[in-house]
Structure 1
Amino acid sequence: MSSAPRLNADDSKNREKTLKKLFQQLYQQDCSQQTQEHLVNKIVQLVLLSRTFCRKYQGQSLFGIYRKIYDQVKLQLVKDIIPKNPRSVIDELGTISWQREVKIKAFRNVLDDNKLKQLALAVQGFKPNSELRSYALKELIRAIKISGKLCKPYKSRFSPELYQVVYEEALMETFMYICTKIDNYDSERGQKKFMNWVNFKLEKSFLASCDQLKIYQECQFFESSDLEKIPTPTNTPSLAESLVNYIKKDPEQLFAQSYIKGNPNANFRTIALGRISGQSWQEMAQQFDISISTLSSFYRRSCQRFKSILEKKI
């Protein structure tokens, strides 16, 4: 029986190849129980190499609640991986998508509200502004994301694209609140459920983001059909056309020089013209390799910043 090579956690292709070989050995008819257990443990070890949660602190061994969760996830993975699938689906085992799904399933089975509460209390136990608290906060945020227990308030009231923009901003605000106000968490309140505290803040942040969105919609003057209703001479470009032309020319280079930090291509001129031409937030987010919330927040602030300038120029 061949042994799995030592892999870098980011070497996903080699890991997938190795996992497939291990599964082929695992599904051999003459595979003894001892060999089977050995192979399953190797598979679990490889799968957990790419975990985003329960990471070691400065290379040290896991401790406390982090070790407890990690050990329980390992046991869950062993249960999930022990052969029970028909050989017809063996090709699906070990793939990158399979690794992601089996990890998420295992972590979600383990990360109940009590575990999340223990992670929050662990944060409170570390000195504010210390490296250990920073580590614990990152672990807590990752655990919340993986757990699948975040609420989705008012989802039916928005289009999918708009909801994603508002929700991501609300999530960012909620996670920031958790990181700065974790000591305000009282484990005896909210029916003693940690996620009640988190989701209460998330819902409030969502409503606040909706209020901001009203301002955002008001400042999207160059996307409004109302511009076309303003009477203009027959041979004169419409107000909307004048506005678009001015943004394109950008004579003072104000719009091109206003961009998202570290990404000059994601500037106000390009983003505004993209929105005018009908590009979706998702398309532009992929184009610039930036999250929708970052892109839309920058766009909203820029609209407010340049509104008076554009109104004067046209």
Structure 2
Amino acid sequence: MDEQQLVIQIQKSPPQSEEHQKAIFTLADKILCSCGLFRLSHNKSLYGVYLDIHQALQQQLYRDIAQNIDEYQLKNITVAVWINEVRSRTLKKVINEAYLQQLALELQKYYPPTEEWQYSFQILTNAILLSDKLLHKVNIYHDVYEEAKNELWIWLYQNINTYNPSKGKFTAWLNFRFDMILRDSQTTKNDPFIQKLNGKIIRTKYQLTNIIKSITQEDLILCLNLQIKQVLHYILSVQILSILTVKYLLSQLIIKKPLVADSLLFEIAKQSLPNATKLANIDDEIENIPQPELEQPLSEQLREYLENDPNNLLQKHIRAHPEATFQVIALKRLEGISWKELSETFNIQIPALSNFFQRHLQKIAPEIKRYIQE
């Protein structure tokens, strides 16, 4: 029974009947399966936090379906659209900060590339996306955002074991890094040199597309029927035949699988430009150049100073709040924790927190600068 039939059955059956309850449970399971959160589970039994999330999603879906079964008619939308809305708001409501943090800590129990680690990593990344708690920024190109997400997953793969829950929330830690990646990606996208190079590649790709589309099956047949009398003519004919064959096959690919053809032609255009390979892999080229040891990033140097407090200057605290030291506040701000969250954590008004932080920062700024320079 599909979703449309289940919705009709729920609407028609008495609310307290077994048929009504069973149809709701069945629809909830179908919606939960379609979200793909536990897509690697197959027949594997869920346990721990995975089972907790699965059950919480089931219960929330059951309540949402029972309470809003007539919503699609009131909104004048299709059942499919309504189901997507139900799925989306349930995932956002259930997969909260606490669950994401538990998933991150569960992943830290395993080591790559074991099956358990891959399973946990897949669930964590799926949950992050479905929770809609990943940082969103206006004026970011869609392709830039998607590429930045891929870079974030690579970074998370390599650095998940560095997350420390005692220093802040998981989403704050993750989004702090994602924000840095987005800034770098946007800067690269807006670089005049990169824009000029991309413009040349795109123009070349369109030129190739127009040439390929002009090749017909008749041209290929004509070439096959050429009378070959001399070796030179034979070699030339084979070359022409090869070129025409490739062009014809590409023209068919454009018709049957335009997205695949578009991607392939873009790569051909990129490689056709002078030094395109070196430009396309500029990061790899830079990494292969012998160079002195890279300096530690400024943010990491600052974190090192704040954590170590080499001159014991960071332990000053807000009056009557010994736990709210400058060191603790500064580290949390570095991790992307907002003033509002800090205010709730320490039960201190935002102005008091901010003023204390700014005053003490002015006093120790020269010492921080000296430490980093040395």
TM bucket (normalised to shorter chain) is: 0.5 to 0.7
Judged with a 3 Å threshold, the aligned counterparts in structure 2 of structure 1 residues 52 and 244 are, in CA distance, closer, same or farther, namely closer
Higher mean C-alpha deviation, range 110-119 or range 43-52: 43-52
Bigger radius of gyration among the two: 2
Q: Give the secondary-structure state (helix, strand or coil) at the position aligned to 2:46.
A: coil
2:123 — aligned with what? 139
CA distance in 1, matches of 2:58, 2:149: 29
* Correspondence list, 1:162-177, <5 A: 163-177=141-155
Q: 1:289 to 1:142 in 2, by over 3 A?
A: farther
Q: Structure 1 residue 29: deviation in Å?
A: 6.6
Provide, for residues 159-188 of structure 1, a one-character-per-residue CA deviation record: whole Å limited to 9, x for no partner.
xxxx11211111110111112221122222
Change (3 A) 1:303 1:114: farther
Match of 1:205 in 2: 181
Match of 1:307 in 2: 273
Structure 1 letter corresponding to 2:181: S
Letter in 1 for 2:161: D
**Matched-pair contact (CA < 8 Å) for 1:23–1:90:** no
Task: Report whether the alignment pairs 1:148 with 2:143.
Answer: no
Equivalent in the alignment of 2:53? 69
Distance of 1:246 and 1:38 partners within structure 2: 58
Q: Deviations over 1:68-126 (max 9, x none)?
A: 00000000001101144548818979833333322221111111111111111111111
Alpha-carbon distance change, 109 to 119 in structure 1, aligned in 2, over 3 angstroms = same
2:101 corresponds in structure 1 to 117
Distance 1:28 1:68 in 2: 32
Which of these residues, 46, 65, 74, is aligned with residue 30 of structure 2?
46
Query: Contact 2:95/2:127 (CA < 8 Å) preserved in 1?
Result: yes
Q: Answer yes or no: is the 8 Å Cα contact 2:201–2:270 preserved in 1.
A: no
Q: 1:197 to 1:85 in 2, by over 3 A?
A: same
- 1:217 and 1:72, CA in 2 relative to 1: closer, same or farther beyond 3 A? same
Superposition deviation, residue 151 in structure 1: 1.1
The match for 2:331 is none
Q: Greater share of helix residues, 1 or 2?
A: 2
> How many residues matched?
242
Q: Look up the equivalent residue of 1:22 and give its one-letter code.
A: L
Measured in 2, the distance between the counterparts of 1:246 and 1:36 equals 60
Report which stretch shifted further, 72-81 or 41-50.
Answer: 41-50
In the other structure, the counterpart of 2:159 is: 181
Q: CA RMSD in A?
A: 4.1
**Structure 2 residue 197 is the aligned partner of structure 1 residue 219:** yes
C-alpha distance 126-309 of structure 1, shift in aligned 2 (>3 A): closer
Q: 1:195 aligns with which of 166, 171, 175?
A: 171
Please report the TM-score for the alignment, with normalisation by the length of structure 1.
0.63
Structure 1: distance between partners of 2:79 and 2:11: 16
The separation in 2 between residues aligned to 1:143 and 1:75, in whole angstroms, is 17
- 1:231 match: none
Does structure 1 conserve the Cα–Cα contact (< 8 Å) formed by 2:11 and 2:69? no
Change (3 A) 1:199 1:130: same
CA 1:174–1:36 in structure 2 vs 1: closer, same or farther (change >3 Å)? same
The offset of 1:147, in angstroms, is 0.6
1:249-286 superposed Cα distances (whole Å, 9 cap, x missing partner): 699999x99xxxxxx78x9xx8xxxxxxxxxxxxxxx9
Unmatched tracts of structure 2, length 5 or more: 213-238, 277-374
Within 5 Å, which residues of 2 pair with 1:158-307? 163-189=141-167, 192-213=168-189, 214=191, 215-222=193-200, 287-288=258-259, 299=266, 305-307=271-273
Does the 8 Å contact 1:53/1:143 carry over to 2? yes
Cα drift, residue 196 of structure 1? 1.1
Match in the other structure for 2:11:
27
Is residue 28–residue 61 contact of structure 2 (8 Å, CA) maintained in 1? yes
Q: Which amino acid aligns with 1:308?
A: P
Taking structure 2 as the reference length, the TM-score comes to 0.54
Of 104-113 and 45-54, deviating more is: 45-54
Distance 1:172 1:86, change over 3 A: closer
Read off the aligned partner of 1:195 and give its amino acid letter: T
Cα distance change, pair 201–49 in 1 and its aligned pair in 2 (3 A): same
Sequence identity of aligned pairs in percent? 21
Whole-angstrom CA distance in 2 between matches of 1:28 and 1:204 = 53
Higher normalized contact order (CA 8 Å, seq sep 6+, divided by chain length) = 1
Counterpart check, 1:106 vs 2:84: no
Q: Deviations over 1:201-248 (max 9, x none)?
A: 111111221233224203135389xxxxxxxxxxxxxxx9x9986896
For the 8 Å contact 2:71–2:82, the answer to whether it is kept is no
In 1, the alpha carbon distance for the partners of 2:205 and 2:19 equals: 71
CA distance in 1, matches of 2:207, 2:195: 21
The one-letter code sitting in structure 2 at the alignment partner of 1:172 is N
